[in-house]
Amino acid sequence: MLMASIGEVKKRLPNDFIERLYNQFSPITADRILSGMANTRYTTLRVNTLKYDRQSLMKDFRNLNIKFERVMWYEDAFIIKNANEKQISELDIYKKGYIYLQSLSSMIPPIILNPKNGDRVLDMAAAPGSKTTQHAC
């Protein structure tokens, strides 16, 4: 889902940022970073397993004609192909807390940490709390 060209992305960013990017990385890597910024990110979410289960969620998605893709490395995560975050946030399954909008990269730390019952976790980046609520599931 290409949103803009690298040139268009460069126009939207401060010149200091672009200069620093090319100073810190090779031109090929800097172009790849900017290319990533040119792409529209798919909506990603996870099921709140304290309130719902993924089988019911997939059934709901099918009934709502929401196209989704499973995330191979996290069974409770989904990539939504045909709805944005605003559209998802208007659904009853969202309003009831059955799902949580969260980037895939934010889902990784709780998986790697893998806290056990009774462990204490200090999340120094707990805003808005996506990873913290993921620990509870």
- Show me where the domains of the chain are located: 6-38, 43-136
What is the band of 101 on the pLDDT scale with cuts at 50, 70, 90? very high
CATH number (3.30.420.40, 3.90.1570.10, 2.130.10.10, 3.30.70.1170) of 43-136 reads 3.30.70.1170
Query: Could you write out the DSSP letters of every residue in 65-123?
Result: T--EEE-TT-TTEEEESS--HHHHHTSHHHHTTSEEE--HHHHHHHHHH-PPTT-----
Q: What is the pLDDT of residue 130?
A: 61
In tens, the pLDDT along 35-78 reads 888 888 899 999 999 999 999 999 999 999 999 999 999 999 99
Q: What is the pTM of this model?
A: 0.72
Dihedral pair phi/psi, residue 79, rounded to 5°: -105, 125
Calpha distance 4→42 (Å, rounded): 15
Task: Look up residue 122 and give its two tokens.
Answer: 């200090």
Q: Is the pLDDT of residue 131 over 60?
A: no
* Residue 78 near residue 70, CB atoms below 8 Å: yes
